[in-house]
Amino acid sequence: MEHGCGIEELHRYLSVQNRRPIHLIPMPFPERHLFGLWLKMDDFDVIAYEKAASQSHKEHIIAHELAHIAFQHRGSVNFDRGDAGKLFADVEPGVVQSMLMRSRYSDDEEQEAETMASLILARATKRWLEPAWGVPEEAAEVVARIESGVGKPDQG
């Protein structure tokens, strides 16, 4: 990959390299400690990121999640079935747990992704332009489940 590329080039490169689309999905995360997550589905990847974050923070969140993809991190936290069921009530708990296992990482993986995100952004020659958002058809069901699971800020 060319020296000094930006988020868009890395996003495109990883999609081509892994032969699977990576969908970037902005959404509200009511949990203030969660700003983004990567879900590896059967045929594509989803990176959900905090919709209300500043532009530079969105870039960092996406770079961090792209780093997890680039390093092929697998995650290391175990969830019990009750936790999985609370997040996605209408989805088979085993499927939720499998997805979440890929979105929780060891401290070493988090540090590696965070360092890579910082390096990516330090060398980026152009800013990421957030596209007008439309949910890709193949990701619509999983996006609806994420929104249902994490809730929406205006829900009480």
Q: Give pLDDT tens digits for 19-70.
A: 999 999 998 887 777 888 888 888 888 898 999 999 899 999 999 999 999 9
Does 108 reside within a domain? Answer: yes
Does 14 reside within a domain? Answer: yes
Does 155 reside within a domain? Answer: no
Structural domain boundaries, residue 99: 7-127
Does 147 reside within a domain? Answer: no
Statement: the pTM of the whole predicted model exceeds 0.85: no
Does 48 reside within a domain? Answer: yes
Does 73 reside within a domain? Answer: yes
Euclidean distance between CA atoms 19 and 85, whole angstroms: 31
Beta strand pairing call for 45-50 and 36-40: antiparallel
- Number of domains observed in the structure of the chain: 1
- Residues in Cβ contact with 66 at an 8 Å cutoff, skipping those fewer than 6 apart: 7, 10, 11, 14, 22, 47, 117, 120
Does 106 reside within a domain? Answer: yes
Does 82 reside within a domain? Answer: yes
